[in-house]
Every structure is written in structure tokens, then in C-alpha cells.
Structure 1
Amino acid sequence: MQPRAVDAAGVAHEMGSANTRIVSLVPSITELLFALGLDRQIVGRTGFCVHPHNQVRQVRKVGGTKSVNVDAIRALRPTHLIVNIDENERDTVEQLRAFVPHIVVTHPQTPQDNLSLYALLGAIFDREQEARRLSEALEIRLHEAAAQAFPKQNVLYLIWREPWMTVARDTYIAAMLRLVNWQTLPDVQGGATGEARYPVLDFDHAPWLAGVDRILLSSEPYRFTQAHCDALKRDPRLAGKRIELIDGELVSWYGVRAVEGIGYLMQRAAAS
């Protein structure tokens, strides 16, 4: 019997067969599955799974990450479903569990967690060599970041407007930013304190705002533009703060994108 790999829910999975059929409900992991060379086994993905562009167009859409079309997935007869604790609804996953034999739960919370993510999927889908290559590339990036002394910056990372929303410090995004010594404000731990992992903020009632050095407007999930950036620069409450756009995919997408994302953040921090 093949050794079993344990996912984020503590479930052990044996290696799939040559007839494996995968549906991914996680955009960044869909990209990772293609990077592992699983093109022929991927039969379903969400409408937000847009990378790699050319390959995903050949894969049937099954709704969104939270608005999943259960019947569409059923029709695809998947053997494996890839989900994420933050991105997919538990109730939906439980519905799918009734007819999908293997549900693989993921939950990377730091850049380093990608190493175990690569290993998990490599073991389940018989792509261990490809997974090792990705791990080696990521470890190089992590060592490069750790070897540099980046000046500390307190940052407000905005992911939404109306209402304004940011990230707690126990999110993957905040962990990525810490690699270049960018510390997120407010200083809250969503999971540990019961507060939201993606808290709503009011510029008029945020005493910690005075300590923010730069404000980063993410390109996703809300697509901030230069117009939003310029509007905030005119806001007297934010006078003297550096306000700029940032590529949300490179900061928030785990999987294969983490390798490029760390390099991107290192360049941004070095140019500060």
C-alpha cells in the first residue's frame, strides 16, 4: 500500500490512480495543479481559477469559490475535490462529500506552509518529483528574504472598500508581508481573539492609523485602481502616508505563485 498524505483537516489520503479526476475550488491551487503537470486530470474549476490562462480555458467552470454549482460537479464525476478552509463554505463541502470519494482540505497560513502543500499534492497525485522542484525553488526564495535586513514598515493592506477591509496578522497575506519586515496594522489576530481575520475599519475611529507608514491597495479581491489611490492621497486623514497599489495575486496566492510573490515583495521593499 502506498504511504498516505495528511491534509489540513487531518484526513490521510492514499495515492490516486491513473483515472483520477480532479475538481479544484481554489484558484491558487488550480494553478499549482497545472504546475505539477496534472493537466489531463483536472476536470473542473471555479470561474476565479484564471491561471494559467490558456490551460484553464479548457476546463469546465463549476461556479465560484462560494457559489458552487453542486450539480455541475456531480456531472463531472470527480474522484478528488480540492477545497480551502478560508475560501470555500463548509456546508457546500459537506454536500459534495456525499458523492465525491476524496476531498482534500488545504489551509496554508504562511509562505513556509507551501512546502507541505506541494508535498501533499505531490504525494496524492504521484507528482513528487515536480513537488520537490517547487520546494527547492521556494526554499531559495525564503533564504534570500531571510538573508536581507529590510527596514521595518507598518502597513495597512486594504482588500475592500464600502466598507474598508484589511487583514489580521494571522492571515497568509500578513505572513507574506512579514518576510520583508512589513508589519500589518491593526495589530489583531483574528483566529486567536475571535475577531475577524479580515476586519472592517473606519478611518475616523482608528487610533493606530497614526502609526501606519504606507497604505497598500490590493488588486484583489477588490480591484483597486490608480483613481482609488489618488483619492486616498487627497484624504487629510491620511496625510504624509505613502499610498500605492500592490499586486494582490502575488501577495495572497499560495501555491506556485508564492515563489514569484516573494521575489516581487523583495523588489518592492528594496526600492522603498
Structure 2
Amino acid sequence: MSMLIDALGTVHQACGADTGADIRVEPRIVSLVPSITELVCELGLSPYLVGRTGFCIHPNSVVQTIPKIGGTKDVNIEKIRKLVPTHLIVNIDENEKPTVEALAEFIPHVIVTHPLVPRDNLALYQLLGGIFGVEERAQELCAQFEAAYAAVDHAPVSPQHVIYCIWQDPWMTVSRDTYIAAMLALIGWQTWSPPNCILRYPGFQWASAMQHPIDRILLSTEPYRFTERHVDAQEKQLGLPVQLVDGEMLSWYGSRAIAGLHYLKRLSAQ
């Protein structure tokens, strides 16, 4: 088996590997990442999931019975402590470092994730599959991902410059080093962000943005809940094509990324 290394370079052992082959220690998992909570369930590990955030909503029928421990950034540390977890799964973008450090004081295993491009999902499947002993299911997800990725790779490409909006009041977008931008780049859609900005999710002004060649505006359904009403308003104001896009399909890594690739292929035909 290859080494199980997370986004911070921490080497993890498979569950039970340090207790002897005849002793199986069942994990108790807390996930602070909505997309990874879904992946944990897709890997068949939902019986070991003892805590999740209020934003962990998929698969709905499964997570309803799993205790909520707050949000992705405002977790209830004492509630987590009482769950006695063995493993904590976090993400560099979504969770606050001080919170993770506080949890690491009493949770033995902290798994840090940080997918930046779509193909990072393959390593993510293998990492969790290896740690929790579900390698076969992880390989099935890898095969499904590869098939969906190949289909997008051969989709018609229409190069465009887009602004991907994740928030309003203030307006915010994504930089080109984000997972979302990498997803859109697969179909030749290049995301615009303010020049010389080092933030991954920068704010912007429309007056400045419109000085650059932009082909279409994308309003994401999350984290801000943009609707068709916002689409109509922005089209009237900007005079450019404005499109509502499924934020989960474009920003959620994990098992949702497989459906996301199929969604991308459909977008490329529009």
C-alpha cells in the first residue's frame, strides 16, 4: 500500500494498523467539510460518522441522523469532545486553523484536505479509502471519475472569459488558483479576478471588471443563494449574458465531483 499522506504532509495509518491485525478499532469520524461528508457516506462509512456541520446536507436521508456540531467555521468544540471522535476531517479553505488546532488537542487523527484541481479527487478518494479500509470502493470512485473526466476532455471547447460570482454586497469572485476556476478551465472558461490580487476569493467592483473583456457572468447558487431574479437584474444592468450555475456541481470536490464533471460537459454545450 502506498503511503497515506494528507494535504499538510502528515502520514496517516490505516485504522487498526497500530493495534494488531486481530483487533479492529472502529473509527469515530467528525467531518467539518460538507463535500467530504458526502464522500465519507459514498465510501460506505456513514455508520462511523458521529458528527457533521449544519452545511453537510448530502446525502439527506443519511446525514439527518448524524449530530450537527455547528458550522464549518463556528463549530461547538465541547459538543465534539463529547462525541469522542478518533478522526477529524477538515479542509484548508473551509475551516479555521485555530479551531482545528483546538480540536487536535483531543482528537488523535486529523486529516487535512485541500483539493485544488479536479484530478486531486483521485488522491482524496485513495487517502480516505486507505485510512478507513475501503480501498475497493475508493477505486470504484476513481474509475467513475476517470470516465467522467475523459468525457469532458473530449467535449467541444468554446474559450470564454467569465466572472464567477459567489457573493454580493460585497460582490466576490474566485481567483484562478481555486478548485472552481480549475473546473471551469476544463471547458475553456477562464475566470477573471482583480489584477494583482493575492486573495483566493476577492471582492471586486463592477466598474473595474467591465474594463476587461468578459463574455459571460456566472452567478453561483452557493455560498450566496443567487436566483433567476438576480440573473435578470444583472443582465439589465450589465448588458452581458448572465447565467445561474449550480455551485455544488462546480465547487464540491469528493464524490460530487463526478456528477460535477458531467454537469461541466453540459455547460460546455451552452
TM-score category by the smaller chain? over 0.9
Q: 1:3: how far off?
A: 6.0
| TM-score, normalised by the number of residues in structure 2 | 0.94
Q: Report 1:21-170 matches (<5 A).
A: 21-170=28-177
Aligned residues: 262
Q: Tell me which residue corresponds to 2:202.
A: 199
Distance 1:212 1:187 in 2: 13
Say if 1:160 and 1:166, in contact at 8 Å, map to a contact too. yes
Q: 1:105: how far off?
A: 0.2
Say if 1:108 and 1:172, in contact at 8 Å, map to a contact too. yes
Say if 2:194 and 2:209, in contact at 8 Å, map to a contact too. no
Find the residue that maps to 2:7 and give its secondary structure. Answer: coil
Q: 1:227: how far off?
A: 1.1
- Runs of 4+ in structure 1 off by over 2 angstroms are 205-209
- What 5-or-longer segments of structure 2 have no aligned partner? 17-24
Q: Report 1:2-17 matches (<5 A).
A: 4-17=3-16
Q: 1:167: how far off?
A: 0.3
Q: 1:225: how far off?
A: 0.9
Find the residue that maps to 1:167 and give its secondary structure. Answer: coil
- Judged with a 3 Å threshold, the aligned counterparts in structure 2 of structure 1 residues 200 and 187 are, in CA distance, closer, same or farther, namely closer
More divergent stretch after superposition (104-113 vs 225-234): 225-234
Say if 2:155 and 2:268, in contact at 8 Å, map to a contact too. no
Say if 1:186 and 1:208, in contact at 8 Å, map to a contact too. no
- What 5-or-longer segments of structure 1 have no aligned partner? none
| TM-score, normalised by the number of residues in structure 1 | 0.93
What is the letter of the counterpart of residue 253 of structure 1? W
What is the letter of the counterpart of residue 208 of structure 2? H
Deviation digits for residues 6-50 of structure 1 (CA, Å, limit 9, x no counterpart): 100100000113421000000000000000000110000000000
Say if 2:90 and 2:110, in contact at 8 Å, map to a contact too. yes
- Judged with a 3 Å threshold, the aligned counterparts in structure 2 of structure 1 residues 31 and 204 are, in CA distance, closer, same or farther, namely same
Deviation digits for residues 118-155 of structure 1 (CA, Å, limit 9, x no counterpart): 00000000010000000001011111111233110111
Distance 1:3 1:98 in 2: 28
Q: 1:196: how far off?
A: 0.8
Find the residue that maps to 1:87 and give its secondary structure. Answer: coil
Say if 1:22 and 1:41, in contact at 8 Å, map to a contact too. yes
More divergent stretch after superposition (15-24 vs 50-59): 15-24
Distance 1:185 1:143 in 2: 26
Say if 1:27 and 1:49, in contact at 8 Å, map to a contact too. yes
